[in-house]
Structure 1
Amino acid sequence: MGIREFFFGSREAPQAAVQSRDGGVVINSPQDLADAIEGQMTSKSGQTVNANTALKVAAVFACVRIISGAVANLPIHVKRRIDAETREDASGHFLWKLLRKKPNRWQTPSQYRRMMQAHLLLRGNAYSLKVKGVQGKVVELLPMHPDRIEVKQADDLSIAYEYTNKSGRKQVFPQEAIMHLVGLTLDGVNGVSVITYARETIGLSLSMEDHGATTFKNGARPSSVLKHPGKLGPEAIENLRASLEAYKMGGESEGKSLVLEEGMDVSQLTMTAEDVQYIESRKFSRSDIAMFFGVPPHMIGDTEKSTSWGSGIEQQSIGFATYTLEDHLTTWEETINRDLVPEQDDDIYSRFNRNALVRGDMKTRQGFYTAMMQWGVYSPNEVRALEEMNPRDGGEIYYDPPNTAGGQDTPQESEGDT
């Protein structure tokens, strides 16, 4: 069986889980295993919380979308280290095409990174099989579903990856065959899933959404109540109900007053304390989820506490880039350098262009480029290259930094001095 046939599965029908003699379930596939441990994923609220159900919570989906989108859309460069101070683009290296143009035959670079980052956020790990070509160069990165992989570390500290395909067959891959992105880890091998530790918070949010949906479906909280001093018979109740339904339909009754007969009275129902607590609980749950993922609340639509991280929304955005996004970008860079760069190419490394984070802010970009040129860090043509513009004649000059121009050791005497 070829590697692609094993990896993507064959045409054979998958084996089904069967009942054992003692009533237990025999595990033949990752789905069987997932079904068997579903009870362990149940929160105290009664909700089953896993990577799939968690995405049904708006706050979780927003956090995963924001972080994954930032990692997917930031340009990644492959650089060659010439000496201690000199770097150049390694556009001729095989990693340039792999990371910037075609990671595999069906995904774009942004699709691939977005998918892998989502796996990392929801499961703590992301895996890709390295398909090698001539001279051991990696020509494809095939994403592998984290739920189908078990990581094992031997006594000699070597790591192996046991993968189960859709047909239930298993194959063990050595460490050098897998690109493994690891999030927060407690054992140095397996990443910790945010969902595991945020299970109760997410389960509570799912329960509150179910409660709200059921409430609106059944109309459990009426806006008003009618009172009758006596007792209405079945016929009178039906007549009253028909009248109220006709009134609620609007039309010619729109804006008119409701006439009550037989001494009936109407009372308005205000929001109960339970309703108020329900709304506040949803806000608290949303902020808690944002905290687990390290996303400022305002980025997922919660603007009530815009000053809870820094002095305002701008500072929160800076904090997100510094303390949350930087962590993920560094994980990607170090993993690429470890798993994809051959040992003989120790002068090659990958790096995200963090400056692209401000490409949506024209004023900030303008100020940054101006300062870089004034202090001689960038030449005009380098700025034009960052803006995808062609160089201009004479644009390779580096300006002297202001207030630091060198002068003569001794001042010149003027002609009038004696």
Structure 2
Amino acid sequence: MAIWDRWFSKGPAEQPRNTFQDATGGVLIRTSQDLEEALRGGVVSAAGVSVTPDTAMRVAAVFACVRLRSGVVANMPLAVKRRVDERTREDASDHPLWTVLRRRPNRWQTPSQFRRMMQAHLMLRGNAYAMKVVSRGNVIEVVPLHPDRVECKQLEDLSLSYTYTRADGRKVTLGQSDVFHLVGLTLDGVHGVSALTYARETIGLSLAMESHGASTFKNGARVSAALSHPNKLGPEGQELLRSSLDSFRSGGEQDGKTLILEEGMTYTPMAMTAEDAQWIESRKFSRTDIAMFFGVPPHMIGDTEKSTSWGTGIDSQTQGFVTFTSEDDLTTWEETINRDLISDSEPDLYALFNRAALVRGDIKARWEAHVKALQWGVSSPNEVRALEDQNPREGGDIYYDPPNTAGGTPDNGGTNEPSQTA
């Protein structure tokens, strides 16, 4: 607990900040790339828009993708299992790590809050860090560290070293055994890369289009134009005409009404409308590209125009998300927990997400699976009741013999009576 007190009892509480900004409003410069990006106000895309994890989340498609993928990890039941023998497994509910993962990861967060935040860091920045608080050889807390404040280096002996910059500017060095480190897609085996690294142009284009749309509708969805006067207007007349026209263009009450021109003036549009430029279609393409970068089927973020582009329909697209995207996230978490939070002296312990919870909201699919498990003797009635959070019933610890689909007779004499053993 001394580590906790030394780190967090002094100085102001750390608040969320932009990528390159510290608590005093200054800029953290660690590399030449940081300097270049800071001088340019963040990494500027070809569309002329600065793209950072914070600005990217203002794009609806990015926010939806991050929310969906982090929500799966946050809501999936996570257990610590113990191998009793080659065929038997049991919940290690007596282990301190069970409390950390299932009840209280730290002093202020719930398990779902912690996992959702760490997964969001992983997706937006490629890495997620948490400091381990250890007591008597067991991890009793995991304290999240903002990735923008952590520098990870590989030493000569190939171990990892982490330098964390506190809110007051002081630096603290942590060893590999002190940090829970989630890594996404990586090209060097140490540092993860996020989707933003390669989707920056697509996201920047989406931000630029949203800014263009907001500006267009602010001005009454009308384009720029030229007014021609047969005579010469003085400075005062030009200013009065300009202010009158701007007032007409920006007011919702004037929308759809006719502009009256006097003294022989003519009105000539100078640009295409947003519809002529297919602005809406461009936004759709951008939304689909962002979904592709994050591995989320477009229909899950509201784009249902191409519902058959992945498999035979919406169900196949959703199953593809579970198989190819969510499974990747769940495996990353399980393996990292096994490496960083479980001691080498306890090789029989391992972390496991309950994948069956993915159909928890589909009562039809859930009960069809229960019926088949009962029919083929995979589960007993009481095991099914436990999955449904129901109390056991008397005589419910039986396993039914599977039906003989080959035309023979059951092993219990042809009565197909339930068996008392698994």
Q: CA separation in 2, counterparts of 1:12 and 1:396?
A: 57
Q: Judge conservation of contact 1:29–1:164 (CA < 8 Å) in 2.
A: no
Q: CA separation in 1, counterparts of 2:258 and 2:51?
A: 49
Q: CA separation in 2, counterparts of 1:340 and 1:13?
A: 26
Q: 2:176 maps to what in 1?
A: 175
Q: CA separation in 2, counterparts of 1:112 and 1:181?
A: 13
Residue 28 of structure 2 is aligned to residue 32 of structure 1 = yes
The alpha carbon displacement at 1:32 in A equals 2.6
What is the one-letter code of the residue matched to 1:390? N
What is the one-letter code of the residue matched to 2:294? F
Q: 1:86 maps to what in 2?
A: 88
Q: CA separation in 1, counterparts of 2:62 and 2:201?
A: 13
Instruction: Give CA-to-partner distance per residue, 1:130-156, whole Å, 9 cap, x none.
Output: 00112x111100000001111111122
Query: What secondary structure, in the 3-state scheme, does the structure 1 residue paired with 2:80 have?
Result: strand
**In the TM superposition, what are the counterparts of 1:123-202 in structure 2 within 5 Å?**
123-134=125-136, 136-202=137-203
Q: Judge conservation of contact 2:291–2:297 (CA < 8 Å) in 1.
A: yes
Q: CA separation in 1, counterparts of 2:410 and 2:387?
A: 34
The alpha carbon displacement at 1:263 in A equals 12
Q: CA separation in 2, counterparts of 1:273 and 1:128?
A: 46
Instruction: Give CA-to-partner distance per residue, 1:21-77, whole Å, 9 cap, x none.
Output: xxxxxxx99843287333361111111111111000000000000111111001111
**In the TM superposition, what are the counterparts of 1:177-326 in structure 2 within 5 Å?**
177-221=178-222, 272=273, 275-326=276-327
1:121 alignment partner, one of 123, 126, 132? 123
What is the one-letter code of the residue matched to 1:156? D
Q: 2:10 maps to what in 1?
A: 10
Instruction: Give CA-to-partner distance per residue, 1:220-263, whole Å, 9 cap, x none.
Output: 527xx9x99x99x98xx99x99xx99xx969xxxxx99999999
Q: Judge conservation of contact 2:11–2:167 (CA < 8 Å) in 1.
A: no
Instruction: Give CA-to-partner distance per residue, 1:248-282, whole Å, 9 cap, x none.
Output: 969xxxxx999999999999xxx847644211111
Residue 381 of structure 2 is aligned to residue 380 of structure 1 = yes
The number of residues matched between the two structures is 389
User: Are the structure 2 counterparts of residues 258 and 119 from structure 1 closer, same or farther at C-alpha, using a change threshold of 3 Å?
Assistant: closer
Q: 1:393 maps to what in 2?
A: 394
Q: 1:76 maps to what in 2?
A: 78
What is the one-letter code of the residue matched to 1:304? E
Q: CA separation in 2, counterparts of 1:51 and 1:259?
A: 47
Residue 342 of structure 2 is aligned to residue 341 of structure 1 = yes
Q: Judge conservation of contact 2:403–2:410 (CA < 8 Å) in 1.
A: no
User: Are the structure 2 counterparts of residues 284 and 13 from structure 1 closer, same or farther at C-alpha, using a change threshold of 3 Å?
Assistant: closer
The alpha carbon displacement at 1:162 in A equals 1.1
Q: Judge conservation of contact 1:29–1:166 (CA < 8 Å) in 2.
A: no
Instruction: Give CA-to-partner distance per residue, 1:312-351, whole Å, 9 cap, x none.
Output: 1110000000000000000000000111111121111111
The alpha carbon displacement at 1:159 in A equals 0.9
User: Are the structure 2 counterparts of residues 349 and 262 from structure 1 closer, same or farther at C-alpha, using a change threshold of 3 Å?
Assistant: same
Identical aligned residues as a percent:
61
Q: Judge conservation of contact 2:186–2:192 (CA < 8 Å) in 1.
A: yes
TM-score (norm: length of structure 2): 0.81
Query: What secondary structure, in the 3-state scheme, does the structure 2 residue paired with 1:344 have?
Result: coil
Q: CA separation in 2, counterparts of 1:10 and 1:43?
A: 39
Query: What secondary structure, in the 3-state scheme, does the structure 2 residue paired with 1:33 have?
Result: coil
**5+ long unaligned stretches in structure 1:** 15-27, 251-255, 412-418
User: Are the structure 2 counterparts of residues 54 and 318 from structure 1 closer, same or farther at C-alpha, using a change threshold of 3 Å?
Assistant: same
Q: Judge conservation of contact 1:376–1:400 (CA < 8 Å) in 2.
A: yes
User: Are the structure 2 counterparts of residues 50 and 65 from structure 1 closer, same or farther at C-alpha, using a change threshold of 3 Å?
Assistant: same
